Amino acid sequence: MFSQIGGARLLTLSAFLLPSTLAAGAWNSSSSVVPGRYLVEFEDSTDATSHIFFSSLSENAIAATPVVTLDYSLFKGASFDLGDVGNEKAHVQKILSLPSVKSIQPVRAYSLSETSGYTVNQGSVLPPAPGPNSLTSTPDTFSPHVMTGVDKLHDEGHFGTGIKVAIVDTGIDYTHPALGGCFGEGCKIGFGKDLVGNDFTGANTPVPGDDPMDCSGHGTHVAGILAADSVAPQFTGVAPNVTVGIYRVFGCSGITTTDVLVQAFMEAYEAGAQVITASLGDASGWSEEPSAVALSRIVEAGVPCTIAAGNDGDIGVFYAEAPATGHGITAVASVDNIVTPVLFKNASWSTENDTTPVPFTWVPFAPANIPNGTYLLHDIVNGSADTFIICNENFTITDDLTGKVALVPLDSGCTSGAGILDMVVAAGTKYVLWYSSRVGTIQSINATTWNTGIESIGMVTDDLGEEWLKMIAAGDPVSVHMITPKYLDYYVVNTPNADSGGYVSHFSSWGPTFEVDVRPQVAAPGGSILSTYPLDLGAYYIDTGTSMATPFVAGAMALILEARGKLDPATIKSILSATATPKLYNDGQSTYSYLAPVAQQGAGLVNVYDAVNAVGVLNISSISFNDTAHFTNYAAFEIQNTGNETVTYTIDYVSTGSVYTLPASGDPMPSEGGDGVALDITTASSATLTLTSDTVTIEAGKSASIGVSATLPNLTASRIPVYGGYVTLNGTNNEYLTLPYMGVASNLYDAVIFDTADNLTYVSRYFSFDAVPSGYAFTLPPQNSTDEEKELYDFPVPVSTDAFGTRVLRLDLAPAYSNSTVNTTEVLGEKIVGSVSAFPAIAQPRGQWHAFWYGDLSDGTFAPPGDYVFLFRALKVFGNESAAEDYETVWSNPFSIIYNTTTTAS
């Protein structure tokens, strides 16, 4: 139900419940917590510093290893690793009791918000950086800019000059000519630092440095969207004259963590960044996560922050990511590019009978290091009309391919990858050209992980491949005349995107938060975006994701600040929101007649030109009517006339489709979308708005207030419908503004959290994912076992598929029978032996999770041998965490545990 579809991530808490050796494969999971690592924030009323804090830990005999110190004006605290100290919960409680400590939370793991792209050739030799007059002498025709009015601002001379924008990401290849070629004062990439080092994985200790060089590519791509000035291919970033700061929070692989993110955000703020942007996230739906809190404080202090909404659109509504859930933060959705760009290199071909070279273009992938020369093409299927022959397990290549280029069909109907390339190498060549299985198109491929000995791999379109095959079959050999790709400029071909161009990307994550805050706020181009990439990884890259949309909005904010002067973050966000263009709903293949829900697109696609020139400025960026139990049936907003003439606005509203969270079948699990699959959206009923006035006339420099009352739509409350729309304002000055609104037509307190209807909350085994029968007996590893020894045992695995999020998720161990003599403590009305290690878990999203359990409890002790049940408890939305009745509860089947007394599993 939550499988890996379209970039979605399987939700699991297993990463923070496993020993380090077992957890290695769990770091792709969302909502992961680093084992034993905690983040504390100090009380505002104290003069505590990280040095004083760690001294107090030492005085209290708590052996904690410092990880990150956070001695900043807006966030004072530190992170530390307790390791295998035992009694972890007792240590945590003791730390929390220190006078200097305000809060303590586990450190979470974060991944990048990207979906897919392709890796082009390595080691490109690029032209030098453009001259000083290039921006004003060359018209901006870059499609993402044309979509959003950025091209018009560039034509008028707005390029973000004088604005400092900080990126929190994987680093930047600042040697790239399109990014200025240098790092430091006076450079385009002018400030920042490496906070983690190349080897940081999220599970180890950061090793900071001064050089924020990018070794994975994501940050360089983000930087190009913001600020590139590229010659070949020719394009610019949204704000190419800004000074960019880079705070590297990822190593060359892996993830990053809450404490490092807080440090990066605070470093960027204290360095004087006027906009901060980060394209990363962790499925949450809650605003309490420390990185979200830290960013919210930065916004309150006057610096706008843009954060990616996430790429889990196939999972459905209520899937907002942190830190985009933080108050005041601008969460950014993705819109597909109106064209699909492909990066080509030029070459030519000829035949034995016609030696006149014919130009062609091909897509180089990594690696692509074919030497200059002429090569015969060889059809590896030898004229067979059945290209699926390569899928046959008996398929072999018997011809000698030495000195030739292998022409290989890329058939999407089978897995033809590394095995075919191994055969090609064994037959004597290191050079391959695929031809696509989709007629006339180029299909993304990445051969970097295949390790086959291939030195050059690329692709041509199906029609060209077929033309070559016919000539070869007719006895007229084809030769290709190749130039090593790095010595050629890129040639970009843009194909119109007729399916989804200009509409919200199907992968873009849906809101709202579980507290019904509007997420996302705005959308920007994020599907199929050309930008820069590290030089040794190809120099340019076409990528897709809300990662790409987020720096676009940061650049838009820079243009607004340059053109309009200093504005507070709320005003910038409201201007971008009011001038954005709401888009019709598109499922990735078809466009519908109704507007996409606010929960998917926020205010819609940004129009930066209109934002810079907006006369009417609203004091809010959206309205949330909340759920039915907290229904706010009246809201008011102000519109200020910042122009020089009186303007009259005609006020009305338009509804979007309403999206059901739960399916019509009565299943408690949320509806899901996917590639080309529409979520359950209805236009049968929508909220009715009543406005205090349908027109308002505002003199120059004055403002007026408009009241909005809502009547709930007639929708099936048990399915948790999310409704929305836009208040519209049409001005006599030809200005068109909108104000998005959203609400939930049900009581979220009643939302089912544990999916008991499908029996998806239960106890399983390490050796089998099925539920164990009542009374199942487990033999657990000895309590002093190593991680490797634990893997030999069939230990209990509590499993749950949570249909909705919860602020507090408890997993407690309780006696199975009333005659048990084990010591218990009453917690929330139930007698428990203790909480399973690392629980309670805070601010959890919906989705599937499981935990490996060896008998250890959160207080560092082990449960004695005996008969037990697991008590799953989740706090209901808007519930009181101290009230037992506000928890949804599921009891597992009884099971028994004993401990082996040897280090060998029985």
pLDDT tens per residue, range 99-129: 999 999 989 888 876 665 554 444 455 566 6
Burial category of 303 from C-beta neighbours within 10 Å (exposed 0-12, middle 13-18, buried 19 and up): buried
Phi and psi, residue 307, nearest 5°:
-135, 140
Residue 765: Cβ within 10 Å count: 17
In the set 81, 140, 169, 173, the catalytic residue is 169
Pick from 191-200, 668-677, 679-688, 804-813: least confident: 668-677
Confirm whether 812 is a catalytic residue.
no
d(CA 491, CA 444): 17
Superfamily of domain 167-338+500-612: Peptidase S8/S53 domain (3.40.50.200)
Per-residue pLDDT of 353-409, as tens digits, reads 999 999 998 988 878 889 999 999 999 988 887 777 787 778 889 999 999 999 988
Among the listed ranges 94-98, 669-673, 679-683, which one has the minimum average pLDDT value?
Answer: 669-673
Check if the beta carbon of residue 42 is closer than 8 Å to that of residue 77: yes
Catalytic annotation on 384? no
Query: Phi and psi dihedrals of 753, rounded to 5?
Result: -100, -55
Q: Which of 24-33, 229-238, 620-629 has the lowest mean pLDDT?
A: 24-33
pLDDT at 17 (0 to 100): 28
Q: What pLDDT does 445 receive?
A: 56
Give the pLDDT of residue 869: 98
Token duo for residue 821: 């003599």
Give the C-alpha separation, 634 to 619, whole Å: 16
Class of domain 31-109: alpha beta
Residue 885 reports pLDDT greater than 80: yes
pLDDT for 463 beyond 80: yes
Q: Does the structure show a pLDDT above 60 at 454? A: yes
Q: Is 547 assigned a catalytic role?
A: yes
Q: How far apart are the first and last CA of the chain?
A: 35
CB atoms within 10 A of CB 632: 15
pLDDT of residue 21: 24
- CA atoms of 739 and 577, how far apart (whole Å): 7
Beta bridge partners of 648: 697
- Predicted pLDDT at 199: 96
Closest CA to 188 of 201, 202, 173: 173
pLDDT the model gives residue 388: 77
Q: Pick the catalytic residue: 91, 218, 221, 850?
A: 218
Range of lowest pLDDT (624-638, 688-702, 830-844): 830-844
Between 130 and 169, the more confident residue is 169
pLDDT, mean of residues 655-678: 83
Strands 491-496 and 681-682: unpaired
Which whole number is the average pLDDT over 250-269? 95
For the ranges 343-347, 524-528, 560-564, 865-869, which has the lowest average pLDDT? Answer: 343-347
pLDDT of the residue at 2: 23
Judge whether residue 305 has pLDDT over 90.
yes
Identified catalytic residue from 547, 658, 835, 837: 547
pLDDT of residue 772: 95
Residues 6+ apart with CB under 8 A from 27: 15, 109, 201, 202, 203, 254, 255
Q: Which pLDDT score, from 0 to 100, does residue 593 have?
A: 96
pLDDT at 525 over 50: yes
Q: What's the CA angle centered on 404, arms 403 and 407, to 5 degrees? A: 160
59 class by beta-carbon count within 10 Å (0-12 exposed, 13-18 middle, 19+ buried): exposed
Distances from the Cα of 683 to the Cα of 596, 600, 680, 714, 745, angstroms: 11, 15, 10, 11, 14
Q: Which fold has domain 615-751?
A: Immunoglobulin-like (2.60.40)
CA distance 614 to 604: 16
* Percentage of the residues of the chain whose pLDDT score is greater than 70: 90
What is the rounded CA–CA span in Å between residue 889 and residue 867? 19
Condensed to tens digits (0 to 9), the pLDDT of residues 217-238 reads 999 999 999 999 999 899 999 9
CB contact at 8 A, 239 and 130: no
**Residue 758: what pLDDT?**
87
Higher pLDDT, 8 or 726: 726
pLDDT above 90 as % of the chain: 72
Return the pLDDT at 88: 75
Res 544: pLDDT: 93
Whole-number pLDDT of residue 18: 25
Give pLDDT, residue 128. 66
Is the C-alpha dihedral spanning 153, 155, 156, 158 positive or negative?
positive
Q: How far apart are CA 577 and CA 523, in angstroms?
A: 9
Q: For residues 354 and 449, which has the higher predicted lDDT (pLDDT)?
A: 354
Tokens of 730: 């049409």
Contacts of 223 (CB under 8 A, 6+ apart): 167, 169, 172, 179, 189, 237, 244, 246, 531, 532, 551
pLDDT digits (tens, 9 = 90+) for 467-506: 999 999 999 999 999 999 888 888 888 889 999 999 999 9
Residue 22 confidence (pLDDT): 23
pLDDT at 16: 27
Is the CATH number 3.50.30.30 carried by domain 340-493? Answer: yes
What pLDDT was estimated at residue 329?
Answer: 98
pLDDT score of 817 more than 50:
yes
pLDDT digits (tens, 9 = 90+) for 713-769: 999 999 999 999 999 999 999 999 999 999 999 999 999 999 988 889 999 999 888
